[in-house]
């Protein structure tokens, strides 16, 4: 296809596709799906080879969030039967992180529910970051605590944080339909604060909330302008007890087309398959590794994920390799000395857009789940009891996390 040849050429040059080209990727047929994956795979391999970065979530504080994000199991008014607990102590959080690092993760994502941290909360998280760093040489730490106030990003950076996550989630035009207790501009402000403090920015989206192709392209183009170093792509888990519980709009094929579009628009950033991969990609997860170069290992915030051992086997069987702790994730032109432990991109010469004037927030909602995204992420590794028709809800693949952080049971890593 001429379209795919054009997109590969642009991806290798870090050139922005047109909106029409991005929409055309989402509109391709299932008959052309493998061609789309192969084309986007060329761009992925050019910038990242066959490496897969592993990330591990630690939910520091679960549930009881005052925000009303429709996709979130921890939201105000949620009826989801999730774990609820207050702040983990630094030593407990460090032990939880150690399980993921032992499983091969090189980045730990520290997440807490809530609108945003108080200064006392920042002190708590800073102590946790220091504990993790002291006990695990070379580990990357990303914080995801919601909306930041002035000076908080700098304090997290001083404590040793490498990155901050706050997802844009959906297009600006539809944001008010998803959340009313804060604004799109609030998210912009938080990511700008993280950038200004020298933290590596992580910002992504949630697909499957009933959005149009145009909405998906809008949010990804906004992310390109924002210029994060990593873009988590979450696929909505319609958690029972949340307003979006009936939104089962995704197929494995559509998920792959979305990931391909993101790769073409942001060719040289860390594209991470985050929450919902097990639920919506299912047996096609290995194909997604040809598009994304990063995943979460094991469980998510409030829901269970695929077994960590199965993740590692999938990576190996698909012909990929786990990225080592000593390897730099991003291409050389995106690496800025002294920022993000050498893993974050340059915002002056970045290939996924310029940070100047950018305006969108992030919260690894669902994936490195923000206070708001927690709970949509993840899926169960439960066995499939029966064959389901294409497009039918797969509630059999959704299970509330009952192990790991906040429990006495061993984590899945």
State the binding site.
65, 69, 72, 109, 142, 202, 272
Residue ranges for the binding site for [4Fe-4S] cluster?
A: 65, 69, 72
Query: Which position among 14, 75, 107, 109 bears the catalytic label?
Result: 109
Catalytic residue at 368? no
Annotated catalytic residue within 224, 257, 263, 272: 272
The reply to whether 255 belongs to the active site is no
Q: Which of 124, 142, 344, 352 is catalytic?
A: 142
- Of these residues, 44, 144, 187, 202, which one is catalytic? 202
Beta bridge partners of 235: 207
Active site residue 277: no
Query: Do residues 255 and 391 lie in contact, with contact meaning Cβ atoms separated by under 8 Å?
Result: no
From the candidates 14, 44, 72, 255, give the one annotated as an active-site residue.
Answer: 72
**Which of 14, 69, 277, 352 is the catalytic position?**
69
Distance of CA 413 to the CA centre of its chain: 17
**Distance between CA atoms of 338 and 90, rounded to whole angstroms?**
26
Residues tagged in the binding site annotation for [2Fe-2S] cluster = 109, 142, 202, 272
202 belongs to the catalytic site: yes
| CA pair distance 27, 21, nearest whole angstrom | 10
Is there a contact between 295 and 59 (Cβ–Cβ < 8 Å)? no
Alpha carbon distance 264, 328 (integer Å):
21
CA distances to 58, 80, 164, 207, 245 from 222, in Å: 28, 31, 18, 15, 27
- Could you please report the per-residue DSSP string of 272-283? EE-TTHHHHTGG
Is 72 one of the annotated active-site residues of the chain? yes
* Strands (E) located in 122-170: 140-144, 163-165
Residue numbers annotated as active site: 65, 69, 72, 109, 142, 202, 272
């Amino acid at each position: 296809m001429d379209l795919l040849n054009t997109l590969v050429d642009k991806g290798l040059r870090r050139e922005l596709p047109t909106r029409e080209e991005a929409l055309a990727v989402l509109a391709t047929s299932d008959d052309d799906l493998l061609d789309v994956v192969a084309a986007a795979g060329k761009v992925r391999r050019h910038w990242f080879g066959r490496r897969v970065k592993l990330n591990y979530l630690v939910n520091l504080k679960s549930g009881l969030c005052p925000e009303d994000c429709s996709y979130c199991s921890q939201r105000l008014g949620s009826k989801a039967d999730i774990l609820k607990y207050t702040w983990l102590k630094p030593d407990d959080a460090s032990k939880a992180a150690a399980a993921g690092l032992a499983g091969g993760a090189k980045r730990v994502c520290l997440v807490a529910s809530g609108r945003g941290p108080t200064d006392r909360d920042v002190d708590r998280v800073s102590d946790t970051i220091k504990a993790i760093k002291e006990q695990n040489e070379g580990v990357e730490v990303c914080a995801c605590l919601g909306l930041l106030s002035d000076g908080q990003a700098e304090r997290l950076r001083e404590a040793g944080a490498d990155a901050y996550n706050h997802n844009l989630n959906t297009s600006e035009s539809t944001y008010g339909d998803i959340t009313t207790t804060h604004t799109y501009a609030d998210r912009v402000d938080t990511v700008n604060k993280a950038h200004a403090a020298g933290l590596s920015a992580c910002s992504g989206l949630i697909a499957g909330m009933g959005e149009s192709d145009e909405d998906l392209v809008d949010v990804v183009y906004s992310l390109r302008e924002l210029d994060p170093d990593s873009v988590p792509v979450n696929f909505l888990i319609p958690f029972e007890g949340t307003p979006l519980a009936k939104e089962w709009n995704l197929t494995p094929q559509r998920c792959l087309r979305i990931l391909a579009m993101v790769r073409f628009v942001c060719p040289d950033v860390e594209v991470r398959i985050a929450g919902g991969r097990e639920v919506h990609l299912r047996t096609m997860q290995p194909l997604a590794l040809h598009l994304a170069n990063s995943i979460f290992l094991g469980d998510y915030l409030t829901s269970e994920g695929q077994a960590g051992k199965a993740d590692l086997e999938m990576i190996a069987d698909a012909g990929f390799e786990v990225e080592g702790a000593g390897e730099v994730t991003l291409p050389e032109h995106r690496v800025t000395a002294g920022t993000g432990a050498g893993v974050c991109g340059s915002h002056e010469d970045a290939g996924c857009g310029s940070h100047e004037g950018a305006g969108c927030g992030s919260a690894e909602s669902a994936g490195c789940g923000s206070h708001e995204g927690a709970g949509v992420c993840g899926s169960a590794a439960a066995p499939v009891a029966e064959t389901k028709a294409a497009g039918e809800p797969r509630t059999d693949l959704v299970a509330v996390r009952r192990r790991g952080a906040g429990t006495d049971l061993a984590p899945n890593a």
